Amino acid sequence: MQRADIVQAAAQIFRQKGYHATSMQDIADAVHLQKASLYHHIESKQEILLEILDAALDRLTADISAVVESDLSPTVKLRLALKAYTLRLNEDRDLASVLLLEYRGLDPKLRSRHIARRDRIDQLWRRLVKEGVDAGEFRRVDPVLTSFA
């Protein structure tokens, strides 16, 4: 049994049942392990949740950063960044669901770490909006508020 298999199974269960309603026994059953054997691969449900969130953020950050760092016009960058974001979330709906809905299940210390990582994506969106406004391609808007849209 590979750790990645466990994490992927957990993401699917978190999407279906929610983080709090999912037990380690649910995850063990999904990957055909005894609960005690599962703990040889994973220490806790928090660890799994954090790994899922980190993987989703890493992928989204890489996708959006590649577009923002390109030499394209801000308008083209915005289209491509939105497309990359949408495609990534549709590519793995289990990861997307956990990223968008289940981060609240993290312990406060881990949640603040996650939010700091998530803020990097928000910074990329703000940077892109500001670049478009500065280039005169977008109307004057607040990049911070617009990045939440």
Examine residue 137 and state whether it is found in any structural domain, yes or no. Answer: yes
pLDDT of 1 strictly over 80: no
Examine residue 36 and state whether it is found in any structural domain, yes or no. Answer: no
pLDDT of 148 strictly over 70: no
* CATH code for the domain in which residue 85 is found: 1.10.357.10
pLDDT band, residue 100 (cuts 50/70/90):
confident
Q: Give the Cα-Cα-Cα angle 103, 83, 63 (nearest 5 degrees).
A: 60
Residue 19 structure tokens: 């983080």
* Distance (Å, whole) CA 16 – CA 70: 37
pLDDT of 132 strictly over 70: yes
Q: Is 39 helix (H, G, I), strand (E, B) or coil?
A: coil
Task: Give the mean pLDDT of 106-118.
Answer: 91
Residue-range definition of the domain harbouring residue 129: 43-147
Examine residue 11 and state whether it is found in any structural domain, yes or no. Answer: no
The model's pTM is 0.84
Whether 67 contacts 81, CB under 8 Å: yes
Examine residue 53 and state whether it is found in any structural domain, yes or no. Answer: yes
Whether 34 contacts 28, CB under 8 Å: yes
What is the model's pLDDT at position 103? 85
Number of domains in the chain: 1
Q: Give the Cα-Cα-Cα angle 111, 100, 15 (nearest 5 degrees).
A: 105
